[in-house]
Amino acid sequence: YIFIDGILADKFLEIFRNKIKEGVAVRIIYDAVGSWELSRDLIARYQEIGVEIIPFMPVRFGRLARLNYRNHRKILVIDGEIGFTGGINIDDKYILDNDALGHWSDTHLKIEGMGVNFLHFVFLSDWLFVSKENLIKPSMFRILDPVGDTPLQIVSSGPDADYPNILQQYLYILYQAKKYVYIVNPYLVPDSNLSMAIKTVALSGIDVRIIVPSKSESPIIHYTIQSYFSRFLNAGVKIYLFNGGFIHSKVILSDDAICSIGTANLDIRSFEQNFEINALIYDEETTLTMKEQYYTFQADSSLLTLKEHAARSNSERIKEKLSRLSSPLM
């Protein structure tokens, strides 16, 4: 989604330069809006060494409607054998602290085995869309030996899908929970379906916890997220405000049995307008690992009580109401 100039982009450039000399093909899709700050100079430097680099739905004058359909996926596939997905973009904020938000924390997943083929298929489908080159051929996919015994499902969604797959995935995890659901996500702007599910599960006595950043990238985002707190706190949801910088992870886990790591936020844009991808893992060991990571994030967070939230000023409440008007656009 975000691919911009900086130390990381230059490191990738050097790696690709060496790999292309070895005969490796390198293809990059970057989102035209998310990568708005990507310079023409860097694009030219990538093209000069032989990288095929193409924007996803470039925005041109007279076609501003395309602002609504962005490729928010983060996919890296190597030789059809190793795949990566999660929240991390190619952006120096991951290695250099942001002046306003501090350290940027995220969660990313390395995948080996047959699951890589599904990541690869999604990338090649996007490549067909942006380049008109059809690489979806049997020779591009491999029958890979199992690596461990972890069941994994790749879930993709977008405005071209018949169903809101990732929204349905989140609803499934919530409604099947018997003990707990832990969520960490930077953008808590749920639609009515997800909002109802979160409240219903919490009201049934299940331990529902949500970690969100204490600071956001803009005041509008901050107050829009905050406008949802009352309904969740009243239902018994525990809301933690992350103070260790900015948390960008998109993780949900439940009952030591299932967890999801991916790109989709808890907002209307992710469910209806963006092209997203998550990895859904049905495994106790992996879920327990993510649970420990969750507790690490929680230790850097402060628990927001209903009493504290109710004591906010009238000006805060007005800002929430005004910002909430923009929630369908987030």
Of the residues 5, 31, 72, 283, which is catalytic?
72
Q: At which residue do the structure tokens 């327990």 appear?
A: 288
Set 41, 79, 99, 149: catalytic member: 79
Instruction: Find all residues with CB under 8 Å of 307, minimum gap 6, and list them.
Output: none
Contacts of 112 (CB under 8 A, 6+ apart): 81, 82, 83, 144, 147
C-alpha 144, offset from chain centre? 27
Catalytic option among 250, 267, 283, 319: 250
Q: Is 307 a catalytic residue?
A: no
Any catalytic annotation for residue 72?
Answer: yes
Which residue in the list 74, 93, 120, 199 is annotated as catalytic?
74
**248 labelled catalytic:** yes
Q: Which of 92, 255, 256, 300 is catalytic?
A: 255
Residue 283 bears catalytic tag: no
With contact defined as beta carbons under 8 Å apart, do 166 and 276 qualify? yes
Q: To which residue do tokens 């071209």 refer? A: 160
Is 110 one of the annotated active-site residues of the chain?
no
How many other CB atoms are there within 10 angstroms of residue 72's CB atom? Answer: 25
Q: Which residues contact 293 (CB under 8 A, 6 or more apart)?
A: 107, 251
C-alpha gyration radius of the chain: 20
Distance CA(164)–CA(156), nearest Å, equals 9
What is the rounded distance in angstroms from the CA atom of residue 241 to the CA atom of residue 212? 5
Query: Rounded distance, CA 133 to CA 148, Å?
Result: 34
Q: Which of 120, 248, 283, 319 is catalytic?
A: 248
Active site residue 291: no
Q: Which residues have a catalytic role annotated?
A: 72, 74, 79, 248, 250, 255
